[in-house]
Amino acid sequence: MTRKLFGTDGIRGQANAEPMTAATALQVGMAAGLQFTRDGGVHRVVLGKDTRRSCYMLENALASGFLAVGMEVVLLGPMPTPAVAMLTKSLRADLGVMISASHNLFQDNGIKLFGPDGFKLSDETEAEIEARMENGVADDLAAPERLGRAWRLDDALGGRYTEYCKNTFPRDLTLHGQKVVIDAANGAAYRVAPEALWELGAEVVPVGVDPNGYNINKNCGSTSPEAMCQAVVTHGADLGIALDGDADRLIIADETGKVIDGDQIMALIAGRLADAGQLKGGGIVATVMSNLGLERHLASRGLELVRTQVGDRYVVEHMRKHGYNMGGEQSGHIVLADHATTGDGLIAALQVLAVRAATGKPMSELGHQFEPVPQVLKNVRFSGGQPLDDDGVQAAISDVEARLAGEGRLLVRKSGTEPLIRIMAEHDDKAVVGEVVDHLAEVIAGAA
């Protein structure tokens, strides 16, 4: 079954335009509710959101859909995506839903679905939900006496998630004496992230904790870490942590304000787990975007880097199937299966802070686990069609692959969330990388 509505990470688009309209959200609620309704008993869905203005519209539409098929709806309010995943399982819900467009600006929004086990849905299940929407659900609506009910839960559940995260931090360590900048991207973790760090003993410098519905990810957060980096330098902090709008990813800055990406973070945490005999699977799972330097670094330690297609859900699927307990993405999704079912920026940050607390080493040292291979990324926007199917584009890609063979890597792919063609190339010679990426971008732009 082919999916049309769901993409790499749920459903996403511009708010109040298809597919992110109230009408479609209502249909998603009804179809997804029916997909996860068992015979008999209470059927429950937990519904969280980030801080975008459009979340109010989509929250009410989704809730109405779930109520129409007889489900109880637990409204969590602003809550990180990993908190929704955790609470879905903790509250014995049939389904978890997060309304968020992750690192995108406020104009966009999205819908992410989690099964009762707290994991993101498979491609197959998403396709089945789409089929229900296409076939119509009118005949399956609940009778009047079977309609669901909804209620909001207060910050007690936020406290439950905060305590859960804190319990992943080693009990014999403390954050006392560490000054930490935390940038919550004016998003879903604007309360829980600073609170968790402060309760563990850190001196906290908050950034991006004043959401107004329009400023999520705007000049802040993991995709715009400049504010976090500057705050580290200004306040003389030991490190900075920047989350994205739904707090399922992070980027770190060392004490000099230099950015540390997800590949270096994975190398650091994987090394700690390996030293403790706690790394399962003989390595970690990452995507095709992770730097070749990470692969070489892990190999030098006798560890393997397994690559999947882009998307943390594919990383998690491979981890579950093959027995790995760690994986992630260069962009900052870090999945620690011993603690969470999806990427969790706060939990990953606490593991980094634990290494620093245990070793006393500066973040500038801990954050440079390997020398990255020169890598260049470039996006080419297109307005329609399939530019990657163009014969000239395919010939250019083949030529570049032949040039890099054995000494580098090339990845050209269509974005799963935006109308972009993403080009990535790696090679030990930086000049070669820049040259081939610029050439491909020019060819693709001509075909777009």
Beta carbons within 10 angstroms of residue 385's beta carbon = 10
Strand order in the sheet with 375-381: 375-381, 420-427, 408-414
Q: For residue 71, give both structure tokens.
A: 């489900």
User: Which residues, at least 6 apart from 443, have a Cβ–Cβ distance to it below 8 Å?
Assistant: 392, 393, 396
Beta carbons within 10 angstroms of residue 379's beta carbon = 13
Catalytic residues: 102
Give CA–CA dist 407/427, Å, rounded: 6
Check: pTM over 0.85? Answer yes or no: yes
pLDDT in tens, the chain (448 residues): 567 899 878 999 999 999 999 999 999 999 999 999 876 678 999 999 999 999 999 999 999 999 999 999 999 999 999 999 999 999 999 999 999 999 999 999 999 999 999 999 999 999 999 999 999 998 899 999 999 999 998 765 668 999 999 999 999 999 999 999 999 999 999 999 999 999 999 999 999 999 999 999 999 999 999 999 999 999 999 999 999 999 999 999 999 999 999 999 999 999 999 999 999 999 999 999 999 999 999 999 999 999 999 888 899 999 999 999 999 999 999 999 999 999 999 999 999 999 999 999 999 999 999 999 999 999 999 887 888 999 999 999 999 999 998 788 999 988 877 789 999 999 999 999 999 999 999 999 988 7
Per DSSP, the chain holds a count of helices (H) and strands (E) of 14, 18
CATH superfamily assigned to domain 262-366? Alpha-D-Glucose-1,6-Bisphosphate, subunit A, domain 3 (3.40.120.10)
What would the CATH number be for the domain defined by 11-153? 3.40.120.10
φ, ψ (nearest 5 deg) of residue 175: -100, 5
Whether cis (ω within 30° of 0) applies to the bond prior to 170 is: no
Give CA–CA dist 367/353, Å, rounded: 11
Domain 375-447 has CATH 3.30.310.50: yes
**Architecture (CATH level 2) of domain 160-257:** 3-Layer(aba) Sandwich (3.40)
Would you say 98 and 246 are in contact if contact means Cβ atoms under 8 Å apart?
Answer: yes
By C-alpha distance, which of 101, 97, 130, 131 is closest to 115?
A: 97
Residue 390 is classified by DSSP as -
Q: Strand 259-260 vs strand 250-253: parallel, antiparallel, or unpaired?
A: antiparallel
Give CA–CA dist 124/202, Å, rounded: 44
11-153 and 262-366: identical CATH topology: yes
Helix (H) / strand (E) element for 365: namely: helix 363-366
Instruction: Write down the domain spans for the chain.
Output: 11-153, 160-257, 262-366, 375-447
In residues, how long is the chain? 448
